[in-house]
Copies of this chain bind each other. A is one copy, B any other.
Amino acid sequence: MKTIRFIIVVLLAQFVFHKTTAQESDQLVRMAKLVIDSTHLEAYKAFLKEEIETSLRVEPGVLTLYAVSEKERPNHITILEIYKDMNAYRYHVQTPHFLKYKNGTLHMVKSLDLIETEPLMPEVKLIQRD
């Protein structure tokens, strides 16, 4: 256990001091805005949750996937997506877990709007503090 902690701490130390200049220039930062058929909202969320969990676990090129639903319009979903580069995104959209989500939810999605964005501070890694 101590060894594992040590390895994680070392990795985190590297993650803190590692320069990401190259990565920034290639990153894809996008907001996916979806409107879901309310009658399928819980089923949709289950598909999305599984897809995000699997992507973050098995795809190093998926840097961030973070989904929120609006409190006043719970069937309005926004997903903040950060991919390492275009190749990471091309890989992502043909993975079995993405296709399972995509095909499994097609009939639940009333609209999908993909908004390509530029981060205000690409040099600052997105992080949620403890």
Contact = CB atoms under 8 A, between A and B. Distances in A.
Interface in A1-51: 5, 8-9, 12-18, 20, 23, 29, 31, 45, 48-49
> Could you tell me the dominant secondary structure of chain A's interface residues?
mixed
Stoichiometry (number of copies): 2
A117 interface: yes
A121 B82 contact: no
A129 interface: yes
Contact of A116 (B17, B45, B72, B125): B72
A119 B62 CA distance: 18
A29 B78 CA distance: 12
A91 B128 CA distance: 18
Given A20-B130, A31-B78, A49 B121 contact: yes
Nearest to A31: B78
B64 A129 contact: yes
B63 A129 contact: yes
A119 B128 CA distance: 13
Q: Which one of A20, A124, A129 has the greatest number of beta carbons of chain B within 10 Å?
A: A129
Given A15-B130, A78-B31, A129-B64, A70 B117 contact: yes
